Structure 1
Amino acid sequence: MATFGKYFLIVWTILFFNFFMETQAPPSCDHGWTRTPNGEACVKMYIRPPKAWHSARRACRDEGGDLVTIFDETKSNFVRDILAVNNTTTAWIGFHVILTEERWHWLDEDGTPNYTNWRYGYPDEDFWDPMVRAEECAIAAWVNGLGAPWINYVCFVTYPYICEKPLPSKCQWNDTVCLNIHETYDGWKCLKGRDGVARIVWPETYPPGSSGPIISGYALPILRSEKRRRDLQ
């Protein structure tokens, strides 16, 4: 009888959550920004006023992001399309050279890049000339039939630029899909699994400090603060 009662409780709980769970719409980019192919970030091209590379980077950081990074051909083609849509042939990207180490790297990468898309003949080796020693940065330059391969140029020249920032999300733990459970005592919130499947795991005992069952590997919290609930709406 005890076993029957246990399974009845599990089934009732699953039905309860299925009834009250409401899936939010996936996060979308801010107005004027375009979602990247992998769906994890948003980009926006700024044409006027054109800026030097460092000024462009500061402008992107003010928007909550940085200059765009390109790690594969899909992203490179995406940048090409951004240039075409904006009827522009050149834009700064987040690739530059560290003169003290004489190597190129992305803003968010320390090691040697796994993907490059230099235009034939680039990077121009003249910048290694000790008489030049100007800091060099990369430009995505649209070429008919060639996409948007990169060229290197001195960073103080002004060009349009492309910013990239994380996709806005209301979810905790940097997940991409949230669930709301309404009409409970305190308006519980929980996360959905990264594969889009909601799971309820009912252990013999809850984890230390938790307030309820586990959903997608996280303890389901009871939000007792009205302010906290509003913050999560």
Structure 2
Amino acid sequence: CDFFLFLELLCPTHWRYFKTKCYFVSTVKKNWTESRRACISEGADLVIINNHEEQSFVHGMLHKDQNAWIGLTDSLTEGVWMWVDKTPVTKSYWLPGQPNNYRGQDCGEMVQTDSGGKWNDDGCFSQQLWICEK
């Protein structure tokens, strides 16, 4: 137990520890680019979700009816979704019918659903909370 308490202390105040990484959910809303800039200023980046465990953890950080930017975009090539570190998406959790590029939606968000967190594409200009990872 003391070991896990020690690991929690490796994360900055208001960040949460999970599987060797630290995560943060903002309390204010910004567009996707400004959200990413805010993460980078903390020595982090928008969250990259690598597996179901991480998806569940990140989803659990949000309250009911909250959406948040994640590190997902197809702004370089339409329809080719990439993480902020330029790696391709290998496992995805899109809402049914998403991504749909409605009116040029190029940025990914985590949305709350009755069945857990799912991804949606949204306009990068939308004001959302965001989730950082480092």
Normalising by structure 1, we get a TM-score of: 0.51
Is 1:154 aligned to 2:134, yes or no? no
Is 1:46 aligned to 2:26, yes or no? yes
Q: Which has the higher contact order (CA 8 A, sep 6+)?
A: 2
Is 1:139 aligned to 2:118, yes or no? no
The aligned residue for residue 32 of structure 1 is: 14
The aligned residue for residue 81 of structure 1 is: 60
Shift of 1:89: 1.8
Q: Which runs of 5+ in 1 are unaligned?
A: 1-24, 127-131, 166-233
User: Where do residues 33-182 of structure 1 align in structure 2 (5 Å cutoff)?
Assistant: 33-36=15-18, 38=19, 40-48=20-28, 50-84=29-63, 87=64, 89-100=66-77, 102-110=79-87, 112-126=88-102, 132=103, 134=104, 136-144=106-114, 146-165=115-134
Distance 1:125 1:138 in 2: 11
The aligned residue for residue 188 of structure 1 is: none
Task: From the CA coordinates, give the structure whose radius of gyration is larger.
Answer: 1
Partner SS, residue 62 of structure 2: helix
Distance 1:28 1:100 in 2: 37
The amino acid that maps onto 2:50 is F
Distance 2:118 2:105 in 1: 20
Shift of 1:135: 5.4
Identity of aligned residues (%): 31
- Tell me if the contact between 2:25 and 2:132 (Cα under 8 Å) persists in the aligned partners: yes
- How many pairs were matched up? 128
- Tell me if the contact between 1:89 and 1:143 (Cα under 8 Å) persists in the aligned partners: no
Q: Which runs of 5+ in 2 are unaligned?
A: 1-5
Shift of 1:47: 2.2
Distance 1:91 1:77 in 2: 14
Distance 1:81 1:148 in 2: 8
- Tell me if the contact between 2:105 and 2:121 (Cα under 8 Å) persists in the aligned partners: no
Normalising by structure 2, we get a TM-score of: 0.86
The amino acid that maps onto 1:67 is L
34 and 70 in structure 1: CA distance in 2 versus 1, 3 angstrom threshold: same
Shift of 1:71: 0.9
Partner SS, residue 79 of structure 1: helix
Q: How big is each residue's C-alpha offset from its partner over 1:135-157, in whole Å with a ceiling of 9 and x where there is no partner? A: 5101100112x111001011011
- Tell me if the contact between 2:74 and 2:107 (Cα under 8 Å) persists in the aligned partners: yes
The amino acid that maps onto 2:96 is Y
The aligned residue for residue 3 of structure 2 is: none
